Amino acid sequence: MIDLVIDGVLRGGIYATAAVGYVILYRSIKVINLAYGAMALLAAYLYWMLTPQLHPLLGFLAILPVVALLAVVADKAVVRPMLGEPVIQIIAATIGLGYLIKGALLLVLQLGYALPGYQQVPYETPLLPRGFVELGALRLDLNFLGAFLASIVAFLLLWVFYKKTSLGIAMRAMSNDRPSAVAFGVRPTEAITTSWILAGLLAAISGVLYAGIFGGPSGSVEYIGVKALPVIILGGLDSVGGALVGGVIVGLAEVLGKLLLDPYLGGGFGEVFPLLVMVAVLLVRPYGLFGTERIERV
């Protein structure tokens, strides 16, 4: 039981990392990016293609700029021209973008497969070593633990970025009160682009970690994008700290749902249980547990 709880918490760390990517973007442009799963998928596959030649860490560092560049392109080419239009339209555009990324990736993979001299699938070299670590009576999966620690590091870096650097403070100001922030000399373009880059990096990190945990890249890496949705809803769309709490709740709900409810309700209930928890929370608190309430005026 106790190791299951710990397992849930560790899972939650990865979901939280993915969720923060959504949150950062939401804070700056009030839109959630549904191409996020596709970006994580792309990162996982790029990592998988690079690692036979490169050291895992080097390979990981090499994909970060690629995904960040993709995020910047998505910003400048797709979302920026649409800012000001109804939110739903922009989200639909990110769905289109997700299709495009996924299709292009599949195309490359299948063309590569058809080319002569194509090497058979190289084995996945996970970023973190496989195995277990004994901690007293507890037996922890190194991959889960490492992924959780990496998420914590990412959170700390983000915290430092938001609290200490001037760009981070400017971005917080932007999300609080855009007109006054602009009046004080914050450049909106800079803040928005930075948040896209950060979101892209977080997508890459969570994609690679998720693929490492669940046995290599596959189409299911894309579902990190869906799994992070209950996290941001529970935590509130604009709360970075809430994402961590939400992540842990979702991880626990998933593991406990699998353990306690699967036997009665059929396999796979653990996967949808967080979504149901989320809907229940939304019915009581429509802006999530830590989200800012929006006051509507005519």
Considering the rule CB under 8 A, would residue 214 count as an interface residue with other proteins? no
Considering the rule CB under 8 A, would residue 204 count as an interface residue with other proteins? no
Q: Which two tokens stand for residue 170?
A: 């400017």
The owner of tokens 């949808």 is 272
Considering the rule CB under 8 A, would residue 219 count as an interface residue with other proteins? no
What residues contact residue 81 under an 8 Å CB cut-off, 6+ apart?
none
Q: Closest CB to other proteins among 112 and 122? A: 112
User: Which residue, 240, 268, 237, is CA-closest to 254?
Assistant: 268
Considering the rule CB under 8 A, would residue 88 count as an interface residue with other proteins? yes
Q: Which two tokens stand for residue 123?
A: 């084995």
> Which residue in the set 4, 49, 66, 78 belongs to the binding site for other proteins (CB under 8 A)?
78
User: In Å, how far are 34, 67, 75, 81, 222 from 90, measured between CA atoms?
Assistant: 10, 20, 11, 10, 20
Considering the rule CB under 8 A, would residue 83 count as an interface residue with other proteins? no
> Which residue in the set 142, 152, 226, 259 belongs to the binding site for other proteins (CB under 8 A)?
226
Considering the rule CB under 8 A, would residue 259 count as an interface residue with other proteins? no
Considering the rule CB under 8 A, would residue 124 count as an interface residue with other proteins? no
Q: Closest CB to other proteins among 129 and 286? A: 286
Beta carbons of 55 and 222 less than 8 angstroms apart: no
> Which residue in the set 41, 63, 205, 237 belongs to the binding site for other proteins (CB under 8 A)?
237
Stretch that binds other proteins, among 6-14, 62-70, 161-169, 259-267 (CB under 8 A): 259-267
User: In Å, how far are 13, 51, 154, 231, 280 from 149, measured between CA atoms?
Assistant: 8, 22, 9, 18, 30
Torsion sign (Cα): 278, 284, 290, 292: positive
Min CB(62)–other proteins separation in Å: 24
Considering the rule CB under 8 A, would residue 266 count as an interface residue with other proteins? yes
Q: Count residues contacting other proteins (CB under 8 A)?
A: 52
Considering the rule CB under 8 A, would residue 268 count as an interface residue with other proteins? yes
Considering the rule CB under 8 A, would residue 99 count as an interface residue with other proteins? yes
Q: Which of residues 273-292 bind other proteins (CB under 8 A)?
A: 275-276, 278-279, 282-283, 286-287
The owner of tokens 């293609």 is 49
DSSP string across 37-84: HHHHHHHHHHHHHHTTTS-HHHHHHHHHHHHHHHHHHIIIIIIHHHTT
Strand ranges in the chain using DSSP code E only, listed in sequence order: 132-135, 138-141
Considering the rule CB under 8 A, would residue 129 count as an interface residue with other proteins? no
> Which residue in the set 5, 9, 62, 100 belongs to the binding site for other proteins (CB under 8 A)?
100
What is the contact surface with other proteins in residues (CB under 8 A)?
A: 26, 32, 78, 81-82, 85, 87-89, 91-93, 95-104, 106-107, 109-111, 113-114, 226, 229-230, 233, 237, 265-269, 271-272, 275-276, 278-279, 282-283, 286-287, 296-298
